[in-house]
Chain A
Amino acid sequence: MKIYNSAEEALECVQSGQTIMVGGFGLVGGPLTLIDTLVELEVNDLTIISNNLGEQGKGLGKLLEQKKVKKAIGSYFTGNRDVGDAFQRGEIEIELLPQGTLAESIRAGGAGIAGYYTKTSFGTNLAKGKETKMFKGEEYVLEEALQADVAIIRAYKADTLGNLVYYKTARNFNPLMATAAKTVIVEVEEIVEAGELKSDEIATPHLFVDRVILAKKILTKEGVIEHG
């Protein structure tokens, strides 16, 4: 694990054609600093795995606007009408997954599980083309694990080893994505010395974490503000 001075330096490893996981549930728990830097990079043909794809022209929505997204995998693109429009124009591929399936597929991807069966989506349009199997008299759908080249996530605090703790509902997909990408880049509000976080409150042990930066954007009651 290495602490980087800026989002630009931490993200220099991102290349065109890669798959990027992005944490957060809307703005809450989103790596806002890293997202704003990612959209400035000269890369394209990205596959983005994230619950949402920002809002129109905001956050990951900017990446879409700049036509840098080849495919989006997520569960709720409703908040950004550009996603539907881009899909209709054939500019992006979309893989829509139930939110629990999205979460479990990322968990599986980080845990060495290739696929799993879930009851969710059986008999619906989202299960079309997917293998099904009966267990104990009930039908299940085969879902495959998700993995990425890079994950950008948000945590509350990191220590100098890269151990992470999260804050309230800003946790969401972040600890899962920390396990499922080759390079895991985290932004945090505070970096403390190893030993300062309580051992049994660490949610993501440092072995999952590659790069840490201090967040420059903080979500407040009044919206997102620049900090530090």
Chain B
Amino acid sequence: MANPIQEAIAKRAAQELEQGQIVNLGIGIPTLVANYVEHNHVYLHTENGMLGVEDVTEEDIDPNIVNAGKFAVGEAIGASYFDSAASFAMIRGGHVDVAILGVLQVDEQARIANWAVPGKNIIGVGGAMDLLVGARKVIVTTTHTSKDGKSKILKECNYPITSTRSVDTIITDLAVFKYIDGQLHLVELMPGADLKTVEANTEATFINSLK
């Protein structure tokens, strides 16, 4: 089960979405965003080949309807299925409005690292690189620091980057940043967070644009 910190980040990310958008949710915190999206508000796309994802109750689970995280999902009214090439044509071709992704690191150029950790034996990239080049807007959701308390918002990613493309919005348990004209702007503090804590836990340089 997700913890309250993850839920708070997901809830805030859901507020970024606009009526009628096509939205792709990554694995982890992004998947939770679906819980905060109003019915019929947006159309959820999953890269394994479905547009029109919705929640499913235990008794309605169909083992052949899953999302990219291989979790059972439901079929919304007007849903469609397609093969993997068509699914990534949607992504790469610029037909997906918003991608919400998890990250391991993000840097002050708003470039992200989320597919490889040096020295670790985990080999996988999935659809992350395609979503970065293709989605019109990219929102990343992450805890502000790693489990050992290190900032995940760095001057420069030291894990391999996922794309040279900068993301648009970063939402953590402490703050919301937007990347505008080549600089990170702190635009909002999350409930309970203060500026000092954000400054102490952010390695990247950012502009304070709090209102």
* Also in contact, A123 and B63, with CB within 8 A (given A75-B124, A169-B50, A175-B83): no
Q: Which chain B residues lie closer than 8 Å to A169 at the CB level?
A: 46, 48-50, 64-66, 81
Q: Is A147 an interface residue (CB 8 A)?
A: no
Residues from chain B with a CB closer than 8 A to the CB of A99 are 47, 84, 88, 125-127, 130
| B160 touching A124, Cβ below 8 Å | yes
Cα–Cα distance between A76 and B61 once the two chains are bound (Å): 24
Is B61 touching A176 in the complex (CB atoms < 8 A)? no
Measured CA separation A203–B84 after assembly (Å): 13
Q: Is B121 an interface residue (CB 8 A)?
A: yes
Q: Is the CB of A100 within 8 A of B130?
A: yes
- Given the contacts A125-B116, A169-B49, A96 and B84 also touching, CB distance less than 8 Å: no
Chain A hits for B66, CB < 8 A: 25-26, 28, 169
Most chain A C-beta atoms within 10 Å of own C-beta, residue among B124, B125, B162, B164:
B125
Chain B residues whose CB sits within 8 angstroms of the CB of A123 once the complex forms: 161, 163-164
Chain B, residue nearest A104 (CB)? B85
Stretch at the interface among A39-47, A63-71, A78-86, A192-200: A78-86
A136 touches B (CB below 8 Å): no
Q: Is B139 at the interface (CB under 8 A from chain A)?
A: no
Cross-interface CB contact of B121 among A84, A96, A173, A203, cutoff 8 Å: A84
Number of residues in A with C-beta < 8 Å to the partner? 53
Whole-angstrom CA separation of A29 from B161 in the bound complex = 31
Q: Which of A27, A81, A124, A173 contacts B83 (CB 8 A)?
A: A173
Cβ of B136 within 8 Å of any chain A Cβ, yes or no, is: no
- The answer to whether the Cβ of B2 comes within 8 Å of any Cβ in the partner chain is no
Chain A residues numbered 88-143 whose CB sits less than 8 Å from any CB in chain B: 88, 94, 96-104, 106-107, 118-126
Q: Does A5 contact B (CB under 8 A)?
A: no
Tell me how far the C-beta of B53 lies from the nearest C-beta in chain A, rounded to whole angstroms.
10
Nearest A residue to B88, CB-CB = A100
Contact A167 B124, beta carbon cutoff 8 Å: no
A166 to B50, CA, bound (A): 13
**Chain B residues, Cβ within 8 Å of A172:** 48-49, 83-84
A60 to B127, CA, bound (A): 21
Chain A residues within 8 Å of B83, by CB: 103, 171-176, 203
Q: Is B105 an interface residue (CB 8 A)?
A: no
Question: How many whole Å from B181's CB to the nearest CB in chain A?
Answer: 19
Q: Is the pair B133, A120 in contact by a Cβ cutoff of 8 Å?
A: yes
Cβ 8 A contact of B88, one of A84, A104, A122, A220? A104
Contacts of B120 in A (CB 8 A): 84
- A27–B64 Cα distance when bound, in Å, is 9
Least distance between A26 CB and chain B CB atoms (Å): 5
A135 CB, min distance to chain B CBs, angstroms: 13
Q: Does B122 contact A (CB under 8 A)?
A: yes
Q: Is the CB of A98 within 8 A of B128?
A: yes
Task: Please tell me if the beta carbons of A122 and B133 are within 8 angstroms of each other in the complex.
Answer: yes
Residue of B nearest to A167 (CB): B64
Instruction: State in angstroms the CA–CA spacing of A221 and B58 once bound together.
Output: 10
Tell me, yes or no, whether A208 is within 8 Å of chain B by CB.
no
Per-position binary interface string of chain B over residues 104-124, scored 1 when its CB falls under 8 Å from any chain A CB and 0 otherwise: 000000000000100011111
A227 on interface, CB distance cutoff 8 Å: no
Query: Which of A122, A124, A173 has the most C-beta atoms of chain B within 10 angstroms of its own C-beta?
Result: A124
For B50, the chain A residues whose CB sits under 8 A away are: 168-169
Residue pair A171, B82 in contact (C-beta under 8 Å): yes
Contact B122 A25 (CB under 8 A): no
The answer to whether A100 and B92 have CB atoms under 8 Å apart is yes
The answer, yes or no, to whether B70 is at the interface (CB within 8 Å) is yes
Does B87 make an interface contact (CB < 8 A)? yes
Which residues of B come within 8 Å of A, CB atoms? 46-50, 61-66, 70, 75, 81-85, 87-88, 91-92, 116, 120-130, 133-134, 160-164
9 new A-B contacts at CB < 8 Å, known A76-B124, A98-B126, A119-B92: A28-B48, A81-B122, A87-B123, A99-B88, A100-B84, A107-B85, A120-B129, A121-B163, A167-B64
